[in-house]
Amino acid sequence: MRFSVLDWFKDEKGKLTSKKINDVVIPCDTVILAIGQENSFPWVERDIGLEFDQWEVPVVDSVTYESTIQGVFFGGDAAFGPQNIIEAVEHGHQAAISIHKYCEKESLTDRLEYGMNLITAKMGIHEWSYSNDYGYENRFEVPTVPMNERFKDINIEVELGFEPGQFQEEVERCLNCDIQTDFAANLCIECDACIDICPVNCLMITDNDDEDNLRKKIKTPADNLEQDLFVSEDLPQTGRVMLKDEDVCIHCGLCAERCPTAAWDMKKFTLKVPYALDEANAIDVNATKKAV
Amino acid sequence: MSYIKKPKIIRDNESRNKLGMTVTDYEGVMSTLCAGCGHDSITGAIIQTVFDLNIEPHRLIKLSGIGCSSKTPAYFASQSHGFNSVHGRMPSVATGAHSANSELFCIGVSGDGDTLSIGMGQFTHAIRRNLNMLYVIENNGVYGLTKGQFSASADVGSTAKKGAANLQIPIDPCQVAISIGATFVARSFSGDKEQLVPLLKAGMMHRGFAMLDVISPCVTFNDHEGSTKSYLSTRETKREALYTDYVEPFTVIEVDYDQGSSIEVDLHEGGKVILRKAEKEFSPLNKSDSIRMIRESADAGEMLTGLLYIDENQPDFTEVENTVRKPLNEVPFDDLCPGSKSLAALQKNYK
């Protein structure tokens, strides 16, 4: 197998380019090709009106996924370079909407908006529709086949996977990010129960102030400035505000369980992503009104 | 109450005290009191207090009697000593524990029923003894554990959940305590930790009997309109006589205190309290002043809070009785039990 040893550097435009230094030959019995899905378009004529950017990939609109030629769409790595497969799936959905609109001769940019829904996760006084008993253990190591066993057979799968009990504990490490804490300021009687029970000390009731001071007032200061601080409306009894540092919340729901007035609730968040079928079935509200 | 246990999570930027412990290390088991109970908030304040005072868990004993309040020592300082005693008899047990080891910090947690009804005699005599302990009354005006009957601290006219008004005159633990010679008397509110925590710290560091009456609303039976011990009515009637700051020993005081209107009292066990006057002339160093202020406030429909009376110069129980200062388990056996010959010699004196 011949390898080319390359030296990588940035040219004056900032583009990463390589220079071959030498060739190395490594003798092999079998070569398994596991990398190198192609993402270049030397076979596309450069005079058909399709514009390419400095990385030699087509210029694609980030909303409609349409190229510079009307009716030609790109998605996946071909659109914006290497990204993960979840994004590639999203590109496919969005491009499908565009293709539908293109065929129906509708405006590609006039699209349905993302929707969301919050529904309480409360099933009873101490019962939630999700598992809230947060497991604070460190990550378990996946059991593997012993080293001396691995080489006996090429078909051996090294990772054995978790035993049933182990993975039940492992999944409890989930931070339940789809569950949101929802606070109704008008119900709060400022009994401090949520602040006392919070296992990550992310709450506080205090006088309203500027953000820097508020961040320090939480029991364990909220020092991740990239995460917005949650500040409630004025509380009815004293006019103070409830603070929450969402950055460290584990969504265990203890604040909501301890709240005597149900001012705190745990709500399941659902993101509503429109698909091509939704666009096809979408009712033009204004048109319907006129018709009525 | 809650079915899941509170997960023990120590964050990287969690503050640690001089012993290297976190606040979480001073916590106890999960509370089984009603959600929103004032008592849980007092528990939180006590945890903060022992954390801030760097108290080694083995030097703390927590005692209680019977009642909702008396369940709470289980909810803080799990690593410390504890004694859940007979109804209203906690002061006697505290006296015994303190006699056996006067180096322990004693926290007694009691309620308005445990203190002002069945335990009234014990309570007043612990004050007379000036036992070196912090005695917290979690005062909610009702017997929560037996479904909300009026307690001895319920105000005249305060209504029960179904509307019946209380007609009997309340016992004010602060007035009682001052009148029979308590050396540290304070009142606070479970919903105001900014006031409560410094008072708890000062009470812990006071030599002698420190009584702290904490209004602690009962969310289930006494948090309705018409109750004088609900969250809302306590906030409306609460008046702070003095702002109390506790200053740890060997710390530089950075705040500028107005000499004319602030009082400094050095505490025997370490640190000092600085009292900033909120309003008109009032000295918590004068018994008559204190009682007059409390009564005037009560007549005006207000509830006076803060450190209401302090006297740091009275001898405590061990000093009056001239008992041994060391823990009894450190006293050599021959001294503890001098033998039958010594007993015979002693008895001879009384013949």
Please write the tens of the pLDDT for every residue from B94-147: 999 999 999 999 999 999 999 999 999 999 999 999 999 999 999 999 999 999
Coil, helix or strand for A8? strand
* Fold held by A119-134+175-272: Alpha-Beta Plaits (3.30.70)
Is the per-residue pLDDT at B260 higher than 70? no
Confidence band for A216, pLDDT divided at 50, 70 and 90: very high
Q: What residues in chain B have their Cβ under 8 A from chain A's Cβ atoms?
A: 1-9, 11, 13-15, 23-24, 34-38, 40-41, 43-44, 190-191, 193, 217, 219, 223, 231-232, 235
Q: How many Å lie between the alpha carbon of A160 and the closest alpha carbon of chain B? A: 29
Chain B residues with beta carbon closer than 8 angstroms to that of A221: 13
The CATH number for B208's domain is: 3.40.50.970
* Average confidence score pLDDT of chain B: 92
- The predicted-structure confidence for B24-44, as pLDDT tens digits, reads as follows 999 999 999 999 999 999 999
- The predicted-structure confidence for B280-334, as pLDDT tens digits, reads as follows 678 888 899 899 999 999 999 999 999 999 999 999 999 999 988 899 999 999 9
Check residue A280 and give its pLDDT: 84
Residue of A122, A128, A198, A220 to mutate, interface with B, max B Cβ within 10 Å:
A220
Confidence band for A34, pLDDT divided at 50, 70 and 90: low
Chain A residues with beta carbon closer than 8 angstroms to that of B11: 200-201, 220, 248
Is the per-residue pLDDT at A290 higher than 80? no
> Which amino acid is residue B82, in one-letter code?
G
Check residue A56 and give its pLDDT: 82
* Average confidence score pLDDT of chain A: 88
Q: How many Å lie between the alpha carbon of A220 and the closest alpha carbon of chain B? A: 6
d(CA A61, CA A75): 10
Contact A254 B4 (CB under 8 A): yes
Which residue in B has a C-alpha nearest to residue A261's C-alpha?
Answer: B36
Check residue A12 and give its pLDDT: 83
Coil, helix or strand for A276? helix
d(CA B24, CA B16): 10
Is the per-residue pLDDT at A20 higher than 60? yes
Chain B residues with beta carbon closer than 8 angstroms to that of A126: 1-4
Is the per-residue pLDDT at A269 higher than 90? yes
Which residue from B2, B13, B44 is facing A220, i.e. has the nearest CB? B13
Check residue A152 and give its pLDDT: 86
Which residue from A191, A238, A257 is facing B2, i.e. has the nearest CB? A257
Contact A192 B193 (CB under 8 A): yes
Contact A192 B14 (CB under 8 A): no
d(CA A7, CA A5): 7
Residue of A196, A201, A227, A252 to mutate, interface with B, max B Cβ within 10 Å:
A196
Contact B219 A197 (CB under 8 A): no
Question: pTM for the whole thing?
Answer: 0.84
CA separation, residue B276 to residues A203, B242, B243, B304, B311 (Å): 29, 5, 5, 15, 17
Give me the percent of chain B exceeding a pLDDT of 70. 96
Chain A residues with beta carbon closer than 8 angstroms to that of B41: 191-193, 196
Chain A residues with beta carbon closer than 8 angstroms to that of B26: none
Residue B105 structural domain: 23-321
Is the per-residue pLDDT at B255 higher than 90? no
Which residue from B3, B6, B13 is facing A197, i.e. has the nearest CB? B6
Residue B329 inside a domain? The answer is no
Contact A126 B3 (CB under 8 A): yes
Task: Give the number of beta-carbon pairs within 8 Å between A and B.
Answer: 92
Which residue in A has a C-alpha nearest to residue B38's C-alpha?
Answer: A191
Check residue B262 and give its pLDDT: 79
Is the per-residue pLDDT at B175 higher than 90? yes
Contact B191 A191 (CB under 8 A): yes
Check residue B37 and give its pLDDT: 95
d(CA A176, CA A128): 12
Contact A191 B34 (CB under 8 A): no
**In angstroms, how far is CA A13 from the centroid of its own chain?**
32
Say if residue B82 is exposed, middle or buried (CB neighbours under 10 Å; 0-12, 13-18, 19+).
middle
How do the residues of chain B divide into helix, strand and coil, expressed in percent and rounded to 5? 35, 20, 45
Confidence band for A50, pLDDT divided at 50, 70 and 90: very high
Q: What is the mean pLDDT of residues A115-121?
A: 93
SS3 string, A73-134, reads ECCCHHHHCCCCHHHHHHHHHHHHHHHHHHHCCCCCCCCCCCEEEEEECEEECCEECCCCCC
Q: What is the mean pLDDT of residues A102-126?
A: 91
Which ipTM was obtained for this model?
0.88
Strand partners, B137: B110, B213
Is the per-residue pLDDT at B230 higher than 80? yes
Kindly state the tokens that stand for B79: 């690593």
Q: What residues in chain A have their Cβ under 8 A from chain B's Cβ atoms?
A: 126, 132-136, 189-193, 195-197, 199-201, 219-221, 223, 237-238, 248, 250, 252, 254, 257-261
Residue B274, φ and ψ in degrees, nearest 5: -115, 125
Is the per-residue pLDDT at A40 higher than 80? no
Rg of chain B over CA atoms, in angstroms? 21
Check residue B47 and give its pLDDT: 96
